[in-house]
Amino acid sequence: MAQKLLTTRSMKILELKR
C-alpha cells in the first residue's frame, strides 16, 4: 500500500519537473 502512494507521488513529481 505504501508503495502505491510512493508511485503516485513520483508521477506527480515527474510531471512537476516536466
How far, in Å, are 7, 17, 18 from residue 2 at the CA level? 9, 23, 25
pTM above 0.85, yes or no: no
**Quick count: other Cβ atoms within 10 Å of Cβ 11?**
10
- pLDDT at res. 16: 93
- pLDDT at res. 9: 95
Of the chain, the end-to-end C-alpha distance in Å amounts to 26
Concatenated DSSP letters of the chain: -HHHHHHHHHHHHHHHH-
- pLDDT at res. 1: 66
- pLDDT at res. 18: 82
- pLDDT at res. 13: 95
- pLDDT at res. 7: 94
Span 1-18, pLDDT tens digits: 688 999 999 999 999 988
